[in-house]
Amino acid sequence: MKDPVAVFSDYVAQKGLKMTPQRRLILDVFLRERGHMASEELYNKVKAVNKAVGQATVYRTLKLLSGSGLAKEFDFGDGVSRYEQTYGHSHHDHLICERCGKNVEVVDQGIEVIQERVAREHGFSLTGHVMHLYGVCADCSRSA
Amino acid sequence: MKDPVAVFSDYVAQKGLKMTPQRRLILDVFLRERGHMASEELYNKVKAVNKAVGQATVYRTLKLLSGSGLAKEFDFGDGVSRYEQTYGHSHHDHLICERCGKNVEVVDQGIEVIQERVAREHGFSLTGHVMHLYGVCADCSRSA
DNA sequence: TTCTGTGCAAATGATTTGCAGCCAG
DNA sequence: CTGGCTGCAAATCATTTGCACAGAA
């Protein structure tokens, strides 16, 4: 399995685009992080390494990462787009606490199978899905 | 079962708010529609009846409808919030065609049950969920 | 009367885009 | 060289908010 940097280089090259130091830096910082990250968070972490990088570049690069398949864009319903790593990360859904915002990644094979079946029943071929379960986590319901 | 207008009146009264002609008009227009509607679409339809109604009032009223339980806010990932009627509509998930945007409402009891179980396993008490299945519909895959 | 609601316009906040110069291929 | 990049600031776009007046309870 190629390393993510190579995946990105290939994607960029194949699109006739260029590999720049900014893009490499943003990719590095992005890969170093776990979980979901908003563009602005990433921008701040990137600035910590190189203050000269512009916010627009981070936005533009995140789109490229998305296109290359290394990142996936998520929208949790607060007006901020978040991105999560998909490289070496298996698919998962989200279990979100409405009180504290805690975000747990979950997978259930049963759900995946049924989703496929539901789609097929309606003549759809499934390409992806987003499932967010909202609730109250143990900690929050205890301290309520 | 009370009619939706009564549900809204009660909600408004109980909150110490007032029932105004604008709110009634917006509610009427909203109820007359099927499917998912963005604030601006609703605003346009409302304006067709009464040009004097302001866009901000539509936004504000949609929030109230949401709070009253008559509407549910949805975010499909394009930066626009959409609302769908929940009155007399049972819960459902969405099956969305990536080519033509077709949006089919689906329910599967099996998924609902598993979702509950998954949440419980993580100590969460579930309050709601959003599930969007993305794929290509029969029509689009035929004409591809 | 007393607040709450409304329309309008200005304010927000995230994301995008135009531009002039820079640099990877 | 050349067309793609970058940083900056200005521009968008959906949504929110401040305000003075209007109107429901």
Q: What is the pLDDT of residues A5-62, one digit of tens each?
A: 999 999 999 999 999 999 999 999 999 988 789 999 999 999 999 999 999 999 999 9
**The pLDDT value given to residue A113:** 92
Residue A35 forms contact with B (CB below 8 Å): no
Q: Mutation target for B interface from A95, A125, A132: give the one with most B CBs within 10 A.
A: A95
Residue A100 forms contact with B (CB below 8 Å): no
pLDDT surpassing 90 at residue B100: no
Show the beta-strand stretches assigned E in A27-143.
36-38, 71-75, 81-85, 93-97, 103-106, 125-136
| Other residues' Cβ atoms within 10 Å of the Cβ of residue A135 | 23
Mean pLDDT of B103-115: 90
Q: Mutation target for A interface from B112, B122, B132, B143: give the one with most A CBs within 10 A.
A: B122
- For the CA of A118 and the C1' of D16, the distance in angstroms is 39
Q: What does the mean pLDDT of chain B come to?
A: 91
Domain extent listing, chain B: 4-85, 93-143
Comparing CB atoms, the residue among B97, B104, B131 nearest residue A129 is B131
End-to-end CA distance of chain B: 46
Whether the CB of A51 is less than 7 Å away from nucleic strand D comes out as no
Q: Which amino acid appears at position A139 of this protein? A: D
Residue A78 forms contact with B (CB below 8 Å): no
Residues A46-55: contacts with CB under 8 Å, at least 24 apart: A49/A25, A50/A22, A50/A25, A53/A22, A53/A25, A53/A26
For the segment B51-90, what is each residue's pLDDT rounded down to a tens digit? 999 999 999 999 999 999 999 998 887 889 999 999 877 7
- Residue A32, classed as helix, strand or coil, is helix
Q: What is the pTM of this model?
A: 0.81
d(CA A129, CA B95): 9
Whether the CB of B20 is less than 7 Å away from nucleic strand D comes out as yes
Domains B4-85 and B93-143 share a fold: no
- For the CA of A37 and the C1' of D7, the distance in angstroms is 22
Q: Mutation target for B interface from A98, A111, A141, A143: give the one with most B CBs within 10 A.
A: A111
d(CA B65, CA B83): 9
Residue A16 forms contact with B (CB below 8 Å): no
CA angle B34, B36, B41 (to 5 degrees): 95
Q: Which amino acid appears at position A31 of this protein? A: L
- For the CA of B88 and the C1' of D11, the distance in angstroms is 43
- Structure-token pair, residue A107: 């997978």
Confidence of residue A144 (pLDDT cuts 50, 70, 90): low
d(CA A121, CA A134): 27
Architecture of domain A93-143: 2-Layer Sandwich (3.30)
Q: Which CATH class is domain A4-85?
A: mainly alpha
For residue B98, the chain A residue with the least C-alpha distance is A127
Nucleotide nearest to A60 (CA to C1'): C16
- Structure-token pair, residue A123: 């003549």
Contact B124 A130 (CB under 8 A): no
d(CA A114, CA A85): 25
For the segment A77-117, what is each residue's pLDDT rounded down to a tens digit? 788 999 999 987 778 899 988 888 788 999 899 999 999 99
Residues A60-68: contacts with CB under 8 Å, at least 24 apart: A61/A22, A61/A23, A61/A26, A61/A27, A62/A26, A62/A30, A64/A8, A64/A11, A64/A12, A64/A17, A64/A23, A65/A8, A65/A26, A65/A27, A65/A30, A67/A11, A67/A15, A68/A7, A68/A8, A68/A11, A68/A12
